[in-house]
Chain A
Amino acid sequence: MSLIAIEELRKSYGEVEVLKGINLEVEKGEVIAIIGKSGSGKSTLLRCINGLETINGGSITVDGAKLAEDEAHLRALRLKVGMIFQQFNLFPHKTAGQNVMLAQQVVKKTAKPAAEAMARKMMERVGLAEKFDAFPDQLSGGQQQRVAIARALAMEPMALLCDEITSALDPELVGEVLQVVRGLAAEGMTLLMVTHEMAFARDVCSRVVFMHQGRVHEIGRPEEVFANPQTPELQSFLGVNRAA
């Protein structure tokens, strides 16, 4: 059974239909890159999987449980699926360590010593053990994003959704974040990432999803998708990227 199963997913903002019937199955341990032009619906797709957007049709099933609107179901879903954002969204009034501890204590009711031990472990994993007591505004963008990854990991999710997590970073900071993601992929974490890092997608991902106008336009193994794009839309999209 797939870890994440998306069937005929539809999402509209008012009159505009952003997702026009998405079907996608993600197996445990898969690393999936979602690529496409801005406005193609790729971020919206991720946000739907995490319940940040209400859906208008179709269904999303994570680990056998169907997504529903009520708070209890959403909470159960979000414990299985973590999310990392383009803008990091660390809590500025808490230290890096507290950022990683908070949800464990509040949501999972983990006792403080256990939450702190887990937080230190995760900070270590993203290479920031020495920044445990730093506030977010004392960290670089790349460090903040790595804390955000540690924060999501501390909840021990089955899958991570990464929404353009390197797009807000200075070029020299992209590498350190991708390095962490690469490590997660190697450890078998299920990852769905919206990304513009084509080289990374090619190297690390098991499948690439090309979205165009609210649909999954093309999908396949990265070597096929990048070397031999079938549709003119993907050809032009990759062409544009190569030129850039």
Chain B
Amino acid sequence: MTQFTLMDILRNLVFATQWTVILSLVSFIGGGLLGLLLLFMRIGKTRWLPPVVKLYTEVFQGTPLLMQLFLAFFGLGLFGIDVPPWLAAGIALILWTAAFLVEIWRGCVEAIPKGQWEASASLGMTYVEQMRHIILPQALKVAIPPTVGFSVQVVKGTALTSIIGFTELSKAGTVLTNATFQPFTVYGLVALIYFALCFPLSQVARILERKMNVAHRH
């Protein structure tokens, strides 16, 4: 039986971390794009799109991410579609991320004072022009800190994908524990690596929040 040194464990964990990072990026970027699309449907002027998006966010925010992963992984399998773990993980996390981001961003759009809508309307701007030149530029400023803050949740959310067999950081931790019988060392390192990923993000969010507050004195 091979002996694992601390360096071996660490090297394997760092190797697996890249999958955590890739999955986080895919989820965050994919979820961001989908969230943006959903945002326009949610705040748009159609009658039936907003309730559809609302239902979507309620469903994804009101069920555990783990269930969503199971449904994506096993559910599609029932229809004879073979879903590899990485695909199920990606789909579920993108949908989940989008559901939260659309609500965060909707709050930011609604935080723009009514007077901004009225002033731009009274100057003759159409809805799209108001959005493009007045509302979204201001909402974007408000949205950056909570959006960066939420990325921490996405990184931690990827840990659950280990359960459907996607080999990211947590899964690598489990495998290494089984091989080394050193759960405390292994999971301790796993936790440290997650912290090393998340801490800078939450710091950036905090700094941005302070900066934006200064820039957004109104």
Contacts and interface: CB of A to CB of B under 8 A. Distances in A.
Nearest to A104: B123
B77 interface: no
A171 interface: no
Contact of B127 (A71, A92, A148, A152): A71
A49 to B, nearest CB: 10
B123 A137 contact: no
Contact of B125 (A89, A90, A106): A106
Given A93-B141, A137-B217, A137-B218, A107 B115 contact: no
Contacts of A90: 119
A85 B141 CA distance: 25
A50 interface: yes
Contact of B133 (A75, A92, A102): A102
B141 A83 contact: no
Given A92-B138, A92-B216, A78 B124 contact: yes
A103 B121 contact: no
Interface in A82-111: 82-83, 85, 87, 89-93, 102-103, 106-108
A103 B121 CA distance: 10
Contacts of B125: 103, 106-107
Given A75-B124, A103-B125, A137-B218, A87 B115 contact: yes
Interface in B80-125: 113, 115-116, 118-125
A118 to B, nearest CB: 13
Interface residues of B, number: 22
A120 interface: no
B134 interface: yes
Contact of A107 (B124, B137, B217): B124
A52 B141 contact: no
A81 B137 CA distance: 26
Interface string A37-55: 0000000000000111000
Interface in A150-172: 151-152, 155
A108 B129 CA distance: 12
Interface of A: 50-52, 71, 74-75, 78-79, 82-83, 85, 87, 89-93, 102-103, 106-108, 136-137, 148, 151-152, 155
6 contacts: A83-B118, A91-B134, A92-B217, A106-B125, A107-B124, A137-B218
Interface of B: 113, 115-116, 118-127, 129, 133-134, 137-138, 141, 216-218
Which 10 pairs from chain A and chain B are nearest by CB?
Answer: A89-B119, A103-B123, A89-B115, A83-B122, A78-B124, A107-B124, A75-B124, A92-B218, A137-B217, A79-B124
